[in-house]
Amino acid sequence: MQFITSNFFPISLALMSGAMLLWNILGNRVRGITDVDTSGAVQLINHKNAFVLDVRQPDEFKTGHLLNAHLIPLGKLKERIGELTKYQDKPIVVVCRSGNRSGMACATLAKQGFTQTYNLSGGMMAWQKASLPVQK
């Protein structure tokens, strides 16, 4: 007991760090976000014919995007979600620059009943770092 009272702050800090890490892992699942790395995304695109949704801004998209990607900026996703209804039960790989906006897009799509959304971890930065093809 003396150890706990003497080290209350470091123990609390360790517990909070663990809880935040656990929430990051489980929270994404609860919000409907499934992360996929670049090789997993390639597998989905090539073998499952996944639809590629880019949620960046048009100027970012013009600098380079995944082959056959469709652009719907995150800010317009809710109003344009009707364009994606035919992909509601099909795999969708969602891409942004780093993986943050695409995670939000996956959560939005999950709330609308999309069952197979995948957030590209690391986004276009990871894609380019892996030297995968980019279309301009």
Nearest to 114 by CA among 61, 65, 50, 70: 50
- Give the residue numbers spanning the domain of 88: 33-129
| Residue 136 placed within a domain | no
Q: What gap in Å lies between CA 33 and CA 119, rounded to an integer?
A: 7
Mean pLDDT of residues grouped by 10 in the chain (136 residues)?
78 76 60 88 98 98 97 98 96 96 94 94 97 96
Q: Are residues 113 and 47 in the same domain?
A: yes
Half-sphere exposure of 52 (CA within 13 A, CB side): 25
Q: What is the pTM of this model?
A: 0.81
Query: What is the model's pLDDT at position 17?
Result: 79
Q: What gap in Å lies between CA 55 and CA 62, rounded to an integer?
A: 12
Tell me which H or E stretch contains 16.
helix 8-30
Q: Following DSSP, what letter does each residue of 49-79 receive, concatenated?
A: --EEEE-S-HHHHHT-B-TT-EE--GGGHHH
Query: What is the model's pLDDT at position 5?
Result: 75
| Residue 134 placed within a domain | no
Q: Are residues 48 and 76 in the same domain?
A: yes
In total, how many domains does the chain have? 2
Q: Are residues 107 and 94 in the same domain?
A: yes
Q: Are residues 52 and 117 in the same domain?
A: yes
Tokens of 89: 């039960």
Q: Are residues 67 and 111 in the same domain?
A: yes
Q: Are residues 45 and 60 in the same domain?
A: yes
Q: Are residues 22 and 79 in the same domain?
A: no
Query: What is the model's pLDDT at position 64?
Result: 97
Q: Are residues 23 and 45 in the same domain?
A: no
- Of these residues, 96, 120, 124, 126, which one is catalytic? 96
Q: Is residue 96 among the annotated active site residues?
A: yes
Q: Are residues 50 and 110 in the same domain?
A: yes
Q: Are residues 73 and 110 in the same domain?
A: yes
Q: Are residues 25 and 74 in the same domain?
A: no
Q: Are residues 42 and 8 in the same domain?
A: no
Q: What gap in Å lies between CA 40 and CA 51, rounded to an integer?
A: 14
